[in-house]
Chains A and B, each alone.
Chain A
């Protein structure tokens, strides 16, 4: 694609765009969670509706990926979220599972592996020389 204002080529892979959207949804959920817990710790009885809706949003954004991965467990979770009354703890459990998946697919993985270079075979293998 060409940006006609600057006449430079713009080429953003769909994966990156999708990744950013997913991270936005995740951030939105965390903000809802923060508001929920502030109210809860202040002694009021807040509703988890916003948290639930935002988690549903996150999963819907990820729907295509889940289908391709044939991860029907999460597809079931989407159905459950839509129908059942869940507690905040159950919601957080689902969120942690989603976080793990995001980590596996390198969306939220920010730490890099530290290689022990004093182990010669470890280095050889890490560099594809096994």
Chain B
């Protein structure tokens, strides 16, 4: 079964990832009473971008040109870290949760530094906001991981996923707090409302899109794919760590698919119901998530309920 898990890690991550933001966009349009684009729209965008000419703004250095490759390579490596249906093949990369956090930080670093290279103020607005939120978001993501790691006592993602299988975990308040914390972290990592708005390039609102503004052609395609891969990674991770999953490989796979679909619906609903938040308010939300996670930890340390 690990072969299949490995195949889904790689092929699913590369090929299915763009489907997730596409689905969210479609659902959101339907919820808002529009017809909206097809869920396959991101694939068409990627194909279009892949055929276009690259742009090389002057004066830039190798840093600017390498950034998309590094970001996409980071996401490709991260795909191999996450368990699929409670299992993962023995890649020599291990399955450590903190390596995942580190790789996300590398991707963020590479993209942010590229915006200094062009000196474009829109790119710099985006990356300075992104880095500001990252301070709180990474702490939140880490606390969510720590809470998930409590039953397993290990930061190995496969072990965590197995430790969270079954129904006993659902009587733990810590699990619920962790799930809520990870939910907020997902909003940041995927760049969704109310934190960020993936639809606009409006100076007042944008975060992640800002840093992409100067890129064109295949560079942009790599970055767009990386954003989609980030959706895949965090949603699969959330399903594997916090949503219900038990049984054999096939059953767990079905749970995983259902879980990711459910999370896409949840993202679409959040985007529809929730207006974009002021950027400077977002850290308060993230800190609130951190406090919630710590409250969950306190309940666990006090002996839990179960």
- A, B: real partners: no
**What residues make up the interface of B, taking CB atoms closer than 8 Å to A?**
none
